[in-house]
Amino acid sequence: MQISFQQLRTIMKASGIPVYRDDAPTEATYPYIVYEFVNETHRKASDRVLKSMPLYQIAIITDGTESDYEPLKRVFNDNSVEYSMFTGIPYDENDDTITQFITNVRCVN
């Protein structure tokens, strides 16, 4: 299903996981969602733009496991949101092992 950016934000918030754009505050507790604009493509006809389609990267930042992204996956599936497979990327933050579980969603404006 094609969704707008505002619908995407509403659906992410429905997961119950805190949602931030670009950066989370330093006092944010795990897990939380950070989303970022990646790029935009256009659907054209007769040299006119019919649709703008921005792509957003969505990361679940956690000190836990892949079960931490299940609430987001559940609301995406319940709302028929098309998303790419989640990829886990571990890194160190303040001597803690943190994992980003990353997916991408293309919206339609």
Tell me if 81 sits within 8 A of 105, measured CB to CB.
Answer: yes
* Residue located via tokens 């990353």: 102
Closest CA to 102 of 54, 75, 62, 53: 62
Q: What is the pLDDT of residues 24-77, one digit of tens each?
A: 998 999 999 999 999 998 887 888 888 889 999 999 999 999 999 999 999 999
Q: What is the pLDDT of residues 64-85, one digit of tens each?
A: 999 999 999 999 999 999 999 9
Q: Say how many Å lie between the first and final Cα of the chain, rounded.
A: 13
pTM exceeding the 0.75 threshold for the entire prediction: yes
| Order of strands, sheet of 48-62, starting from the edge strand that comes earlier in the sequence | 19-21, 32-45, 48-62, 96-106, 87-93
On the question of a cis peptide bond just before residue 31, with omega within 30 degrees of 0, the verdict is: yes
